A and B are shown apart, each in its own frame.
Chain A
């Protein structure tokens, strides 16, 4: 698994606790950030227009979650398990290749 380039992150499962006894005694993380599916929080969703993208990877650098990854062809894509819809990528993209659209659930 390459967590920086080339592919979507794999192998992470979302941890869902359904009974109080399953909780740890102290509030600590039960997994890495990969198991924290911040994609649940999203209202807006980034949509990338490859024709405007100049592969500068500013969006990849600024994204606060492990949500943007770089595809084999060099363009960027979004891992929707983690994209929380904050819009930082759209705001930072120098060519306005990313737009935030209201997500239909």
Chain B
């Protein structure tokens, strides 16, 4: 069948819901939390209208239960999905370890939202990054198209390596903003994403198994190593699946860090999620103004694309790391990771951390220009003014 995309104008949340429908998800655990709610509402609507078959929709009483229900479903061999935001994701934290440790390829959408207090429902990456060490993979979408594509690819990657994956989209900037999304006809999604072949299932009654049993110090260590290896393997699988997606549907995701006009760049802006759309637009404008700049969008934060970062860092004089998140007592989270990767290498660009957009603070093309001016000055001088810059602070 020839690929002819179906164009729809949808919010990021609806893009996620359509991807869930097209992935033929079998179990959805649903609990509403702003700004995620319209994802599970749309899926409920598909169900009510008879647009999805074989879907069990499980309304639960909390996010902890949502993840528990999804884990149970996935352990029976079903393709399972849920979605959440901020405090809801935090409430799932304990269960996230159970999902990854049991090697269940669940896919979840987290709509990035600031953690309270003060109460906030706006965009901020600290919620998802606080789940960094749960063993889940993390894909950060720049726009609604990437939300849709990200969910489909994440199921494929997750089911190949048996590791769960989070697809992360910005609160309101993507979740509630409408944009054209190219959707893939169902038959072609089916070819790309065949039914799941589980590693094991609880419903194999001839070979009964227990999951989540006790492992003494004699065995626990080896299981951690296996999960670590699965993340290593995932890097390979992500690139293959991203390439296949490009060949089939025209959007190539074979790079874990998307490089934009970095070839001859003196310095680059590095960040994740929707703010990188603004950065790319700013790069085009800055290039016209004579700045040799580029953008490096980290698509996959876990597993972390260390090798790609090294290749980039070898060829630039500076990296401005834009963190819409913060680790208290330290610095922006992506900044720490990036510096950590490069420490034992010969790539030593000047790296500066800009804390931007926390709690939904606007981040504009003009902000990127100001950061570019600052980066240019410090590169010319050869040293940093400050390492961590609270860029928007009302001084």
Contacts and interface: CB of A to CB of B under 8 A. Distances in A.
Interface of A: 17, 20, 23-29, 32, 36
Contact of A27 (B208, B213, B230): B213
A35 to B, nearest CB: 11
Contacts of A24: 200
Interface in B91-125: 101-103
Interface in B166-213: 199-200, 208-213
Contacts of A17: 219, 222
Given A23-B219, A27-B101, A27-B103, 7 more contacts: A17-B219, A17-B222, A25-B199, A26-B102, A26-B199, A26-B211, A29-B210
A29 B209 contact: yes
A20 B226 contact: yes
B223 interface: yes
A28 B103 CA distance: 10
A37 to B, nearest CB: 11
B211 A27 contact: yes
Contact of A29 (B101, B103, B213, B222): B213
26 contacts: A17-B219, A20-B226, A23-B219, A23-B223, A23-B226, A24-B200, A25-B103, A25-B162, A25-B199, A25-B226, A25-B230, A26-B103, A26-B162, A26-B199, A26-B200, A27-B101, A27-B211, A27-B212, A27-B215, A28-B200, A28-B213, A29-B209, A29-B210, A29-B211, A29-B213, A36-B213
B61 to A, nearest CB: 28
B89 to A, nearest CB: 24
B222 A23 contact: yes
Contacts of B211: 26-29
Interface residues of B, number: 19
A92 to B, nearest CB: 23
Given A25-B103, A25-B162, A26-B162, A20 B213 contact: no
Contacts of A23: 219, 222-223, 226
A27 B220 CA distance: 9
A25 B229 CA distance: 10
A22 B101 CA distance: 18
A29 B160 CA distance: 22
A32 to B, nearest CB: 8
Interface string B232-276: 000000000000000000000000000000000000000000000
A82 to B, nearest CB: 14
Nearest to A27: B223
Interface string B17-39: 00000000000000000000000
Contacts of B210: 28-29
B343 interface: no
Nearest to A28: B209
B225 interface: yes
A29 B162 CA distance: 17
Residue among B162, B223, B225 with most chain A CB within 10 A: B223
Contacts of B215: 27
Contacts of A29: 209-211, 213
A26 B199 CA distance: 8
B144 to A, nearest CB: 34
Nearest to A25: B199
A68 to B, nearest CB: 21
A64 B209 CA distance: 19
A90 B376 CA distance: 77
A18 to B, nearest CB: 10
Residue among A17, A20, A26 with most chain B CB within 10 A: A26
A25 B104 CA distance: 11
* Closest 5 pairs (CB-CB, A-B): A26-B103, A29-B210, A28-B209, A27-B223, A23-B222
Contacts of B212: 27
A96 B114 CA distance: 60
A36 B218 CA distance: 13
Contacts of A20: 222, 225-226
Contacts of B223: 23, 27
